[in-house]
C-alpha cells in the first residue's frame, strides 16, 4: 500500500486546488491511498512564538502526517506569479527546528500539481517551489506535470471535475507518481 499525503495550498472554501485534490482521491489506483489535508489552523510563523511555546499543534499534526506518508503531493495555487504565502508559511513552520528537516523532508518523494483560473496554470508557482524543495532535500518527481489552466471551465460550481481530458491527465499523474514512489524504494 502506498500512502500519498496531498496538501492543498489554499484556504478558500471553493478552492480549485482543493477540488483538484479531492478529484485525485477518486482516481487513485488500487493499492494507493491519497489522503487530503489543508493548511487551516497553521498560524503565521513567528520565531518568538516558536521559542516561547514550541510548535503549534496543527504544525505537529501535519508534520507527523508527512513523516507517516510514502510521498507528498503539493497542490499549489499561484498568487502573483509565485508560491502562495499561506503555503510557504506552512513549509517554514514544518522545517522547524532545522534539525527536523531530514526527518520530515529528507529524500522523501514530492510532486507538484496545481490549478488556476489563468491561462498558464501554475507554471510559475511550481517553478518557484523547486528551489524550496531542493533546499529541504526532498526527492522531486519530475516524471509528470499537472498544471490545470482555466479552472473555471474545468470544475463545475460545486467543485466537481467535469473535464474528462483533465480527469485522465490527473489519474495518470497521480498513479505515475505512486509508481515512481514504489520503484524508488521510498517505502517508510
* Domain locations in the chain as residue ranges: 2-182
**Rounded Cα–Cα distance for residues 38 and 20 (Å):** 12
Query: Does the domain at residues 2-182 carry the CATH identifier 3.40.50.620?
Result: no
- Mean residue pLDDT of the chain comes to 95
| Average pLDDT estimate for 131-156 | 96
State the pLDDT confidence band at 144, using cuts at 50, 70 and 90.
confident
For residues 129 and 125, give the distance between their C-alpha atoms in angstroms, rounded to a whole number.
6
Task: Give the confidence band of 187 by pLDDT, cuts at 50, 70, 90.
Answer: very low
In contact, 139 and 188? CB cutoff 8 Å: no
For residue 28, give every residue at least 6 positions away whose Cβ sits within 8 Å of its Cβ, in sequence order, or none: 4, 34, 174, 175, 178
What is the per-residue pLDDT across 105-142, written as a single tens digit (0 to 9) for each?
Answer: 999 999 999 999 999 999 999 999 999 999 999 999 99
The confidence score (pLDDT) of residue 83 equals 97
Task: At 41, list the grid cell.
Answer: 489552523
Coil, strand, or helix at residue 85?
helix
CA distances to 39, 129, 161, 162, 164 from 168, rounded to whole Å, are 27, 25, 11, 11, 6
Place of cell 514550541: 54
Confidence of residue 185 (pLDDT cuts 50, 70, 90): very low
Given pLDDT bands bounded at 50, 70 and 90, which one contains residue 184? low
Segment 79-107 shows an average pLDDT of 97
Pinpoint the alpha helices (H) of 69-183: 85-94, 101-104, 123-136, 151-154, 164-183
* % of the chain at pLDDT higher than 70: 97
Q: Pairing state of beta strands 139-140 and 147-148?
A: unpaired
Helices (H) and strands (E) in the chain, counts: 8, 6
Grouping H, G, I as helix, E, B as strand and the rest as coil, residue 86 is helix
Q: What is the pLDDT of residues 18-55, one digit of tens each?
A: 999 999 999 999 999 999 999 999 999 999 999 999 99
Asked whether the predicted pLDDT for residue 8 surpasses 60, the reply is: yes
Model pTM score: 0.95
DSSP, collapsed to helix, strand or coil, labels residue 9 as coil
Mean pLDDT on 49-69: 98
Please report which confidence band the pLDDT of residue 170 belongs to, taking 50, 70 and 90 as the band edges: very high
Amino acid at each position: 500500500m502506498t500512502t500519498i499525503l496531498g496538501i492543498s495550498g489554499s484556504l478558500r472554501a471553493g478552492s480549485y486546488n482543493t477540488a483538484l485534490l479531492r478529484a485525485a482521491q477518486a482516481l487513485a489506483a488500487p493499492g494507493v491511498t491519497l489522503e487530503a489535508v489543508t493548511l487551516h489552523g497553521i498560524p503565521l510563523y513567528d520565531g518568538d512564538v516558536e521559542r516561547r511555546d514550541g510548535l503549534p499543534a496543527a504544525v505537529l499534526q501535519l508534520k507527523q502526517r508527512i513523516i507517516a506518508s510514502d510521498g507528498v503531493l503539493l497542490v499549489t495555487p499561484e498568487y502573483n506569479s509565485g508560491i502562495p504565502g499561506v503555503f510557504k508559511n506552512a513549509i517554514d513552520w514544518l522545517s522547524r527546528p532545522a534539525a527536523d528537516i531530514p526527518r520530515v523532508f529528507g529524500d522523501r518523494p514530492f510532486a507538484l500539481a496545481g490549478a488556476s483560473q489563468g491561462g498558464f496554470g501554475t507554471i510559475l508557482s511550481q517553478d518557484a517551489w523547486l528551489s524550496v524543495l531542493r533546499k529541504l532535500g526532498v526527492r522531486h518527481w519530475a516524471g509528470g506535470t499537472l498544471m490545470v489552466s482555466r479552472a473555471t471551465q474545468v470544475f463545475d460550481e460545486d467543485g466537481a471535475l467535469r473535464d474528462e481530458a483533465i480527469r485522465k491527465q490527473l489519474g495518470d499523474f497521480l498513479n505515475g507518481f505512486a509508481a515512481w514512489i514504489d520503484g524508488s524504494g521510498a517505502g517508510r
